[in-house]
Amino acid sequence: MGRRDREPTIEAATSGVRARTRAAILEAALTIWARNYAASLTEIADHANVSRSTLHRYFPERQDLIDGVLIESLAVLDAVAAKAANNTTTALDQLTSLLRSFVEVGDRLIFLYADPDRFAGNPHWRPVGNQSLRTLAAAAQAEGALDPALPPAWIEAVFNAHIYVAAEAAQSGEDPVHVIADRAVRTLLRGVAPAGDPNPADA
């Protein structure tokens, strides 16, 4: 086998290593910054098992790495929202599917939304998905699945609170993510009333 025959294989292997290294750095940054946004690049490099100089070859400045995690996280949440929209038939099903799926990517949600001013002015920042939670809440009310007396904005706020609490619970690792997701859906739809009991507000 001549040199020309080997070159594509070598190039492909090198490209694969670079992609894996970049992905490892992004994953480490997400994991660290979702818990401590002030963490240093050295901490992230250590978590990714790469040197600080290697990290800087992929992301020369801290802002470059922040933007990388931001862009990737928005893309992941877009995919989650699209999957929920395509795999459900009712607005309520879409809401609960979103809640379950968002819990599974809780680190990304905390990274994106823990500080409402974190990405102010960042050109990469944009809304997730193409349908607002408020619109979905109103649609679920029209279906008769949610209380029509509640403003859709209130339902949206409660939904977001459940996501955040569930994402933080998932970070603790005390319970499996699917258990936390089930818990979040149950409390979103029933509050904290015991199963089978009437809603105290209706008593």
Q: What is the DSSP letter of 132?
A: -
Condensed to tens digits (0 to 9), the pLDDT of residues 79-96 reads 998 998 899 999 999 999
Is residue 88 within 8 A of residue 101, CB to CB? The reply is no
> Tokens representing 136?
């979905």
Condensed to tens digits (0 to 9), the pLDDT of residues 54-113 reads 999 999 999 999 999 999 999 999 999 899 889 999 999 999 999 999 999 999 999 999
Confidence category of residue 116, pLDDT binned at 50, 70, 90: confident
Q: What domains does the chain contain, in order, with CATH numbers? A: 6-60 (1.10.10), 70-196 (1.10.357.10)
Report the half-sphere exposure of 142 (CA within 13 A, side-chain side). 8
The Cα 45–Cα 149 span in angstroms is 51
Q: In the prediction, which pLDDT does 36 show?
A: 97
DSSP letter string, 15-67 = HHHHHHHHHHHHHHHHHHHTT-TT--HHHHHHHHT--HHHHHHH-SSHHHHHH
Chain CA centroid to CA 164, Å: 10
